[in-house]
Amino acid sequence: MNDYQEHVYTLTELNLNIRKALEHTLADEYWVCAEISECHPNRNGHCYLELVDKDRKGNTTARQRAIIWSNTYNLLQPYFEQVTGQRLSANIKVLVLVSVTYHELYGMSLVIHDINPTYTIGEAARRRAEILAQLEEDGTINDNKELPLPTLPQRIAIISSSTAAGYGDFIDQLQGNNYGYRFYPVLFAATMQGEHTEASIIEALNRIHTHIEHFDCVVIIRGGGSTSELSSFDTYPLATNVAQFPLPVIVGIGHERDETILDYVAAVRVKTPTAAAEWLIERMRLADLATQALRQQVTDIVSTRLLRESTRLQQLTSNVPYIVSQRLHNEAVKQQNWAHIVSRSATDKIAGEHNRLSLMSMLVPERTAMLLRQEQQRLDNMAHTIALLSPEATLARGYTLVTHNNRVVRSVDDLPTDTAVEIHMADGTAQAHITATSKKEDNE
């Protein structure tokens, strides 16, 4: 141990050597760009910060403590706020002039001597431009703007802090409107400041979506604040959720000069919570005026139609006697014409029938004589036929006729044996006695 004693340092000595080495090696000052992750002014007027650097994925790649001494901070803070519109705070990127210090007790830190506020303005603009470009590439930047706006936006889902003055102003303006319009606002409370703003608003949108059929539109409102406080609304996840929400979104965040990414993607952009309420009231008023105009238009149309019909009715009434007289005259003329036509038709008909009767009277005797001759000839033919077919004619041709009990015998079945029959011939009758009969077989 004694052999190495001349090479052993106390921790204080080592840190002092590190301090001397840094002081002799490093330049006096450096311009450094970094993001402020923590910012804590204290009661002594000093401001303690933590600076970080991040890669494109948001992973922290470097971290260093920094301090702005009170005399410098009292100059830098007002200057920075005047140029950028925001105070030095966490979650903003800065370009600062620093010197590197090393203290044997507190370690290394950066002392900030100056700041370039235009870098912060440019960085915020660059970040906003990147988000807008991504939304353009996604094809969603105009989705919410293209939704049809409600004609009567009465059922309103509100995303705001329940204790915010802006929310109170919005409700007072809405419910106390001069026209007596009724609105039905429902608050979906969310954190509107700080690191949880993005997640809280997205969660509120999701809750609204589960009851979407009960609302006409969504209103996101927040009172004014520093630019750094409003930077929580400049995020891609929040912007894409608002852009793709299926109900029109009305954004009223900050004061007149404030602007966020949500202003670019929402269906309606107004400057303040009060202005959001005024927009809803004006929307109702326009619908009311349109309804009144339609009502007046209908009234005018009905009045004009009634006047026209009344005039027409008066004209018709005044024309009735003339119309009746003219109609009666026309009917009388028609009856005369019909009477003439009927008289002429009857005369023509009678003359025609007279001629037909005269012709028939000439044809009847001739036709009667002809018919009598035809009927006489037919009777003669029938008499001749009857004579040819009579029993006498048959017997004269050599046939005989057998009768039994004065009935003609047609079958041997009608002649039992030992039966007396009569045989008729042309010139007389003979008596016979049947002793036997035989019936001819069917196949003979």
Continuous segment of H or E residues that includes residue 71: helix 70-84
Among 281, 312, 156, which Cα is nearest to 221's?
Answer: 156
Give the per-residue pLDDT at 50: 94
Contact partners, residue 198, CB within 8 Å, separation at least 6: 232, 235, 237, 238
Q: Residue 122 corresponds to which tokens in the numbers above? A: 């440019």
Secondary structure (3-state) at 38: strand
Paired residues of 95 in beta bridges: 33
d(CA 170, CA 221): 8
d(CA 271, CA 258): 7
Q: How far is CA 80 from the centre of its chain?
A: 53
Contact 204, 305 (CB under 8 A): no
Q: How many CB atoms sit inside 10 A of residue 95's CB?
A: 17
Contact partners, residue 157, CB within 8 Å, separation at least 6: 185, 186, 188, 208, 211, 215, 217, 218, 219, 247
Q: Residue 148 corresponds to which tokens in the numbers above? A: 């049809």
Give the per-residue pLDDT at 256: 57
Alpha-carbon torsion, ordered 130, 134, 136, 138, to 10 deg:
180
Q: Residue 25 corresponds to which tokens in the numbers above? A: 């090696």
**Residue 405 φ/ψ, nearest 5 degrees:** 55, 40
Secondary structure (3-state) at 58: coil
Hey, what amino acid is at 169? D
Among 104, 87, 75, 79, which Cα is nearest to 40's?
Answer: 87
Contact partners, residue 403, CB within 8 Å, separation at least 6: 409, 421, 422, 424
In the 8-state DSSP scheme, what is residue 133? H
Tens-digit pLDDT profile for the chain (444 aa)?
Answer: 455 556 788 888 888 888 888 878 888 899 999 988 899 999 999 999 999 998 877 788 999 999 999 999 999 999 988 887 778 888 788 899 999 998 888 889 999 999 988 877 767 777 888 888 899 999 999 999 999 999 999 999 999 999 888 899 999 999 999 999 999 999 999 998 877 889 999 999 999 999 999 999 999 999 765 555 577 788 899 999 999 999 999 999 876 566 788 999 999 999 899 999 999 999 999 999 998 989 889 988 998 899 998 888 888 888 888 888 888 888 888 988 888 888 888 888 888 888 888 887 788 788 888 888 898 999 888 888 887 777 778 788 888 888 888 888 888 877 877 888 888 888 888 888 888 888 887 655
Ordered by where they begin, the domains of the chain are 8-115 (2.40.50.140), 139-286 (3.40.50.2300), 394-434 (no CATH)
Q: What Å distances lie between residue 41 and 31, 87, 298, 367, 386, CA to CA? A: 22, 11, 69, 148, 157
Report DSSP letters for 265-329, one per residue: HSSEEESSHHHHHHHHHHHHHHHHHHHHHHHHHHHHHHHHHHHHHHHHHHHHHHHHHHHHHHHHH
Q: Considering just the CA atoms, what is the radius of gyration of the chain in Å?
A: 64
> pTM for the whole thing?
0.52
Helix, strand, coil shares of the chain, percent, nearest 5, are 50, 20, 25
Q: Residue 3 corresponds to which tokens in the numbers above? A: 């052999």
Q: Residue 121 corresponds to which tokens in the numbers above? A: 């303005």
